[in-house]
Structure 1
Amino acid sequence: MIKRTISISIIALVLSVPALASGDDGQPNDILRKMEEVNAQYTELLDKMDSIERQRRQLELLMYQIDDLDQYRGGMNVEDAPPEAIEVATERKQELEAQTQAMPELPRVSNAVGGVLTPKGRLTIEPSMGFSYSSVNRIAVEGFTILPALLVGIIDVVEADRDSYTARLTGRYGITDRFEAELSVPWIYRDDATRSREFLTGAVEDKVFKAQGQGIGDVELGLRYQFRRSSPTAPFLVGNLRIKSDTGSDPFEIASMSTLAGQPQFSTELPTGSGFWSVNPSLTFIYPSDPVVFFGSIGYLWTIEDDKGTSVDDEGNILGFGRVDPGDAYRASFGLGLGLNENSSFSISYQLDQFTRTRIETAADPSIAGSDVTVGKLLIGYSLRMNDGPPLNLAVGIGTTDDAPDTDLTFRVPFNFGD
């Protein structure tokens, strides 16, 4: 618009030259000189306007690039902005603030709770060592009662002590800043000692059955994804998916031997796996409230049924199982973490698993009574970082139900490689 106005002025000045020359024959050179001066000024002005136009375009490009940031900072005057614009800018500001906040780190007490997602391009190698101990007492009665206090038959009292040692190597890789993959390979050593004695038969000595087992356990693959937060006050949400294989030795393929009343079967070698594939989706929430961090998770364990065929006992008898469904489980946990200082933290949580009944195709009653168990565990976690070294994570589990291990202990040390 400015260029057009200046051009029209120059044209009008040029058209007026003949009139000026005819009216004043003594000054044609002065008029031409003034026209040249005006033309030079006009050319200089055009150059400046071109430079201003280029700068305007660059500024416009920059404004497009920082448009989101401008909304985030409230680029317009609040008094002049409509309510809808203020609301949108506020929501956008909260979203950006929520995304810039990092998920707090917790002692890694389980596969679903603890730690932060691995940054993009980083590989974490985490060796760990675990120990688990459980003691089980069982009474088997084979006979009948004549009176409420008179039993005719055999009573078999069984006491079992079970120790399990697990050396595990876990690798985690950050695919993106919000998505990581995990591979876990365990090596397991088990040692069971079972003591049995018959009562009401005159037996005075206990029968002791010992069995061991060692080898690769069930390899697991895990995926974790952190969902976006809508506001700074919303909790962090992490989706977890774990797939467990059946690479460990199958308990249905191990020979067994008989003991006392009712001829219960004891394995001559202990399995290192479950014999089934399973899929475990879960959702973890983490809510920081300085200086405490609250967390919890809910999940479902789906164990895929399988055809186990037959097994052979110590006398060569063929025992058939057919298709076996070991049952699924509903899982829940909750707890809190506390940062003691920059190098140490502490957490306490409770985990509860409710398993459904096992079903065996060839059994008289396919739904096995007593196989629906509840496993409750209290977990206490510690994390300590010494100097610039890796954090040392220790988790202690205490069984709170009859079906849970009495106690377990896990020690983890993660090492990071890459960015």
Structure 2
Amino acid sequence: MQKTLLATAVACGLLVGLPFELAAQSAPTAQDEAQVQTLLAQLQALKASYAQQVRQLRELDMQVQALQAKLAGKTAPATLPAPGGTPPPAQVAQSTPPTDEGSRAGSTEQAEAARQEAPTRSLKDALQQEHALFDRKFTLENSVSYARYDRSQITLNGFLALDAIFLGNIAIEDVKSDSLTYNLAARYGVSPRLTLNLDVPYLYRKTVYQKGGAGGSAAAIAEQDTSGAGLGDVGLSANYKLFDETDARPDTVLTLGITAPTGQSPYGIDWKVLQRNDDQYISFAVPEKQPTGNGVWQANLGLSAVKTMDPAIVFANAGYIYSKSRDFGDINTDPETRNPGTVKLGNTYYFGAGVAFAFNERTSLSLSFSDRLSAKASLRYKGSSWSKVIGSDANAATFNMGVTHALSQHTTLVSMLGIGLTQDAPDFSLTFKVPYMF
């Protein structure tokens, strides 16, 4: 009994003293509190430093992407992994949650601005063909184009009897022309708003003239072909950016140009007589060679606009070409006479619009419509008044389709197909251009 009471007393004493011992052990000291405060301060400093580094990495990554887009024409260049398996800055920024909503919104706006300022390489290549680029210091462009014309005309010389029977001669005239043009173009960026352009063409033309009704017989056909080759009319122009693209307005460029009559003029070329009527009237004559230029000075004033509508761009242009009158020693097509005089080509208005789509970073497709309206030309023989040339006015409308493909960082292949929509336009034209960017 005494042992039982003694054991009970000892157990009670232990139970009573245990909370005091635990309380004594868990009571924080001043040293522990100071250590906790120090660790908390270090943790906050590391968090602030880490957030700042993440922002800096994000900003640096966007700057690198913008610079790479300007150099290579890409909006989303691939980033290479860093040595030792460390992820690139872009991946670190994407895998790390933003510290605040303000920095995330600012980064999104900057990325969107960078995307709009740097379109894809393929769209920029298409843009250069329809508009102008100012971020390329110097571009040398070689191009070859082929155009095909085929025109037929029926000439009736007689009268209609009984409202059904034609009495007289029926002559069918057919003109088929093929032209091949090589053009060397140089484009130099003077400033972010001004570029200068020089175009030097070299042409080869071959034209086949056919006329039915030779000798009064509708079955007889006379045919003659002529050709000509040489330097074309050299052009010099300048592009000036009026307005940068914003949400409300397109990128707008003003173009001023002048064309010199360096090619073979169509006036003064001798003609070859192939047929004469019974009264010795010339019924069929062709020029001995084909011209390679217009023969007059021309000035061009144009305006073009481009609006980015991701993933495409929409462009439009309009302009006016003024032709200066010029004196020639002979403006008569009769090979037996020589009549000096003055020629004034009709002024031309042109306009067009289209759209370009980017298939990927290197390839794009453009579709456009263009039209040129030319007024009638005028002639004035020496000592006489001006007279209009019948049939010299023209309306040349064309549907164009082009594909651009970046061959390398500096070279692009441009192919364009033009389909004539009116009688005055070529039946079709095919052009290949290879711009090289330095």
TM-score normalised according to structure 1 size: 0.70
1:345 aligns with 2:401: no
* Cα distance between partner residues in 2 of 1:301 and 1:252: 20
Structure 2 residue aligned with 1:286, among 292, 301, 306? 306
| Residue identity (%) | 27
Partner of 2:106: none
* Cα distance between partner residues in 2 of 1:395 and 1:334: 15
Partner of 2:117: 101
Partner of 2:258: 243
Partner of 1:409: 430
1:141 aligns with 2:156: yes
1:304 aligns with 2:324: yes
Structure 2 residue aligned with 1:357, among 359, 372, 376? 376
How far did 1:239 drift? 0.8
How far did 1:298 drift? 0.8
Structure 2 alignment gaps of length 5 or more: 1-108
Correspondence list, 1:306-385, <5 A: 306-311=326-331, 315-320=335-340, 322-362=341-381, 366-385=387-406
Q: Counterpart of 1:414 in 2: which secondary structure?
A: strand
Cα separation, partners in 2 of 1:323 and 1:364, compared to 1, 3 Å: closer
1:255 aligns with 2:274: no
* Cα distance between partner residues in 2 of 1:403 and 1:305: 23
How far did 1:368 drift? 2.2
Runs of 4+ in 1 over 6 A off after TM superposition: none
Verify the 8 A CA contact 2:131 2:305 in the aligned structure 1.
no
1:194 aligns with 2:213: no
Name the Cα RMSD after superposition: 2.8
Partner of 2:13: none
The CA deviation string for residues 198-256 of structure 1, in whole angstroms up to 9 with x for no partner, is 17923533211100000100001011111233744321001112211100001002111
Partner of 1:274: 294
How far did 1:177 drift? 1.4
Q: Counterpart of 1:334 in 2: which secondary structure?
A: strand
How far did 1:279 drift? 1.0
Structure 1 alignment gaps of length 5 or more: 1-92
Structure 2 residue aligned with 1:210, among 203, 225, 242? 225
Q: Counterpart of 1:225 in 2: which secondary structure?
A: strand
The CA deviation string for residues 267-312 of structure 1, in whole angstroms up to 9 with x for no partner, is 1100111111111111000000101111000111111121223157
* Cα distance between partner residues in 1 of 2:408 and 2:200: 29
Verify the 8 A CA contact 2:271 2:335 in the aligned structure 1.
no
* Cα distance between partner residues in 1 of 2:296 and 2:376: 15
TM-score normalised according to structure 2 size: 0.67
How far did 1:403 drift? 0.7
Q: Counterpart of 1:148 in 2: which secondary structure?
A: coil
Partner of 2:184: 169
The CA deviation string for residues 153-175 of structure 1, in whole angstroms up to 9 with x for no partner, is 33221111110000111111110
Q: Counterpart of 1:187 in 2: which secondary structure?
A: strand
Verify the 8 A CA contact 1:118 1:124 in the aligned structure 2.
no
* Cα distance between partner residues in 2 of 1:228 and 1:218: 31
* Cα distance between partner residues in 2 of 1:149 and 1:229: 66
Alignment length (residue pairs): 319
Q: Which amino acid aligns with 2:326?
A: D
Verify the 8 A CA contact 1:338 1:347 in the aligned structure 2.
yes
Cα separation, partners in 2 of 1:153 and 1:109, compared to 1, 3 Å: farther
